[in-house]
């Protein structure tokens, strides 16, 4: 009896010792101690990379959507770059200046301010407005197969997009050489590049790829809407969104859902997954003010056409529209209710027929129900998810 006890104890100690050893070895092993000490002088990074891989919920997988694999070391490097003000001409602006985590990676300014106080032309787009960057925009791995970037659809991949932001004179205003020099000058990048790329060679292509890797790991699918869609999927796979009330929604939210499905989903998506069209004119102005997609293609029928944004986290991303003209969701809803302007490219969805703009003429109740529904698209977890947080000390 005694012997058995002792043997057990001995075995227990051995297992414990082995477990501890493995754990501490692993900690020890991930970054070289000298590297981690250096990184820790500047950055609050955990001693091994965060898991940047998202698993989509079933109700989104059921639509045939999937996320691409994310390389954790590249994403970690990309996260540091995303928050690094050294990547701008005057050292005051990072990607995060105009894409703030607590606002679902949008900016609360009508138009954003870049380096040297230069004011931009358009409202920042919320990176957290989509279910998952790679499921939505397509992946750089398979070429430009997804939804294009920017209000005027002018970039096809996350890398093209971030190069455009870094070199934009009204945003970060860096030349190609500036980018490499700025990164080379910071001591913490050497180990991060080594971990991500197996060599400390700093190139513009790697900078751009790493930022893309980080943003490709961003996703937002934990809203009340998602919780309810997931529950409903179980009992009615095909029409879970249509007429059925969501059991966890209030009466107002369920009424708002129907109004949304009736009037908005044909563009913005019933499932909050991918928009039904790449671009549209939603009747903001009777004449072309900002040419939008037309400014890129020069085609008459693209004038004043803009990207159809996804509306995830819309509660947090005011002001609204490409020029930030509306400050509240109530103003947006009023626009669709009574304010749509006829423009030659006005979408057929928003016409009363022929050359007439539609008036949705919502009642006071309809308007507040619709806003209540839009607020179910907020994902609180995204706002404090430490994987996406500012790593700088
Ligand atoms: C000075 C503010 C500012 C900075 C800095 C900035 N952005 Fe943006 N970002 C914007 C604005 C404004 C838009 C919309 C511009 C447009 O569509 O013409 C935008 C659009 C985007 C989009 C397009 C999203 C979509 O759905 O089409 C992505 C992605 C993005 N930015 C990522 C980044 C990254 C990554 C960086 C850093 C390399 C960055 N931004 C730096 C203001 C900024
Ligand atoms: C014809 C397609 C279409 C329909 C229908 C439509 N929208 Fe839009 N919506 C757009 C487009 C395009 C934009 C971007 C316009 C711009 O900024 O120039 C937009 C922008 C928005 C925005 C601002 C998004 C942001 O990030 O700034 C909100 C909110 C919105 N719509 C809500 C609604 C609601 C609610 C309805 C139904 C009452 C609706 N939309 C119906 C096409 C549509």
Reported as a single tens digit per residue, the pLDDT across 123-173 is 999 999 988 877 777 655 444 457 888 999 998 888 888 999 999 999 999
Angstrom distance (rounded) from CA 185 to CA 176: 15
Structure tokens at 58: 């079933």
Expressed in angstroms and rounded, the spacing between residue 105 Cα and the centre of ligand 1 is 10
How large is the greatest C-alpha to C-alpha distance in the chain, in angstroms? 95
- Give every CB contact of residue 7 below 8 A, 6+ residues apart in sequence: none
The reported pLDDT for the residue numbered 17 is: 44
CA count, 13 A, side-chain hemisphere, 6 = 3
Nearest atom of ligand 2 to the alpha carbon of 123:
27
**Are the C-beta atoms of residues 283 and 345 closer than 8 Å to each other?**
no
Cα 196-106-347 angle, rounded to 5 deg? 115
CA distances from 11 to 14, 15, 19, 21 (A): 5, 6, 12, 15
Structure tokens at 137: 């925009």
The reported pLDDT for the residue numbered 143 is: 46
The reported pLDDT for the residue numbered 241 is: 64
Residue 299 CB coordination number (10 Å): 10
The reported pLDDT for the residue numbered 15 is: 46
**Are the C-beta atoms of residues 343 and 281 closer than 8 Å to each other?**
yes
Expressed in angstroms and rounded, the spacing between residue 350 Cα and the centre of ligand 1 is 28
Q: Which residues of the chain have pLDDT under 70?
A: 1-28, 138-145, 234-243
Angstrom distance (rounded) from CA 31 to CA 196: 11
- Give every CB contact of residue 286 below 8 A, 6+ residues apart in sequence: 341, 342, 343
CA distances from 242 to 271, 332, 339 (A): 10, 23, 27
- Give every CB contact of residue 304 below 8 A, 6+ residues apart in sequence: 281, 284, 285, 288, 289, 290, 291, 292, 294, 343, 345
Nearest atom of ligand 2 to the alpha carbon of 125:
26
Expressed in angstroms and rounded, the spacing between residue 305 Cα and the centre of ligand 2 is 12
Does any ligand 2 atom lie closer than 6 A to the CB of residue 311? yes
Angstrom distance (rounded) from CA 160 to CA 175: 15
Q: Which ligand is nearest to the CA of 277?
A: 2
The reported pLDDT for the residue numbered 240 is: 58
**Are the C-beta atoms of residues 345 and 301 closer than 8 Å to each other?**
yes
Angstrom distance (rounded) from CA 376 to CA 393: 34
Angstrom distance (rounded) from CA 306 to CA 280: 6
Nearest atom of ligand 1 to the alpha carbon of 93:
5
Angstrom distance (rounded) from CA 195 to CA 74: 8
Residue 26 CB coordination number (10 Å): 11
Q: Which ligand is nearest to the CA of 107?
A: 1
Q: Which ligand is nearest to the CA of 272?
A: 2
- Candidates 209, 240, 189, 183; CA nearest to 59 is 240
Does any ligand 1 atom lie closer than 6 A to the CB of residue 151? yes
Structure tokens at 128: 């957290």
Expressed in angstroms and rounded, the spacing between residue 368 Cα and the centre of ligand 1 is 31
CA-proximal residue: ligand 2, atom 36 (nearest):
264
Does any ligand 2 atom lie closer than 6 A to the CB of residue 320? yes
Angstrom distance (rounded) from CA 135 to CA 147: 10
Asked if residue 319 has a cis previous peptide bond (ω within 30° of 0), the answer is yes
**Choice from 75, 165, 306 to test ligand 1 binding pocket (greatest atom count within 8 A of CB):** 165
**Are the C-beta atoms of residues 300 and 162 closer than 8 Å to each other?**
no
**Choice from 95, 307, 311 to test ligand 1 binding pocket (greatest atom count within 8 A of CB):** 95
Does any ligand 1 atom lie closer than 6 A to the CB of residue 153? no
Q: Which ligand is nearest to the CA of 318?
A: 2
The reported pLDDT for the residue numbered 227 is: 94
The reported pLDDT for the residue numbered 5 is: 54
- Candidates 334, 389, 386, 393; CA nearest to 361 is 334
Nearest atom of ligand 1 to the alpha carbon of 151:
17
Does any ligand 1 atom lie closer than 6 A to the CB of residue 155? no
Angstrom distance (rounded) from CA 184 to CA 179: 9
Expressed in angstroms and rounded, the spacing between residue 327 Cα and the centre of ligand 2 is 14
């Amino acid at each position: 009896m005694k012997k058995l006890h002792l043997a057990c104890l001995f075995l227990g100690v051995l297992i414990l010792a082995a477990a501890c050893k493995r754990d501490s070895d692993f900690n020890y092993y991930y970054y070289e101690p000298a590297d981690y000490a250096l990184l820790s002088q500047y950055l609050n990074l955990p001693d091994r990379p965060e898991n940047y891989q998202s698993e989509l919920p079933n109700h989104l997988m059921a639509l045939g959507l999937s996320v691409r694999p994310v390389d954790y070391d590249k994403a970690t490097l990309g996260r540091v770059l995303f928050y690094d003000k050294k990547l701008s001409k005057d050292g005051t602006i990072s990607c995060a200046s105009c894409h703030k985590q607590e606002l679902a990676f949008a900016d609360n300014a009508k138009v954003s301010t870049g380096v040297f106080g230069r004011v931009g032309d358009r409202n920042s787009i919320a990176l957290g407005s989509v279910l998952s960057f790679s499921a939505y925009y397509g992946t750089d791995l398979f070429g430009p197969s997804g939804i294009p970037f920017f209000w005027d659809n002018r970039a096809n991949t996350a890398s093209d997009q971030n190069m455009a932001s870094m070199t934009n004179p009204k945003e970060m205003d860096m030349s190609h050489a500036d980018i490499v020099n700025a990164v080379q000058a910071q001591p913490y990048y050497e180990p991060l590049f080594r971990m991500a790329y197996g060599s400390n060679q700093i190139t513009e292509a790697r900078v751009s790829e790493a930022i893309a890797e980080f943003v490709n790991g961003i996703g937002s699918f934990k809203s009340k809407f998602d919780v309810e869609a997931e529950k409903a999927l179980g009992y009615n796979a095909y029409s879970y969104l249509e007429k059925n009330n969501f059991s966890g929604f209030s009466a107002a939210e369920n009424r708002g859902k129907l109004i949304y499905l009736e009037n908005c989903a044909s563009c913005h998506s019933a499932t909050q997954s991918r928009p039904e069209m790449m671009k549209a004119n939603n009747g903001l102005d009777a004449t072309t003010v900002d040419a939008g997609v037309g400014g890129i293609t020069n085609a008459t029928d693209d004038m004043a056409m803009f990207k159809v944004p996804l509306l995830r986290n819309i509660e947090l991303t005011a002001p609204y529209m490409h020029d930030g003209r509306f400050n509240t969701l109530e103003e947006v809803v009023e626009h669709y209710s009574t304010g749509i302007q006829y423009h030659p490219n006005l979408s057929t969805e928003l016409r009363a027929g022929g050359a007439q703009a539609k008036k949705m003429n919502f009642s006071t109740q309809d308007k507040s129900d619709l806003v209540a529904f839009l607020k179910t698209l907020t994902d609180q977890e995204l706002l404090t998810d430490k994987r996406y947080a500012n790593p700088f000390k």
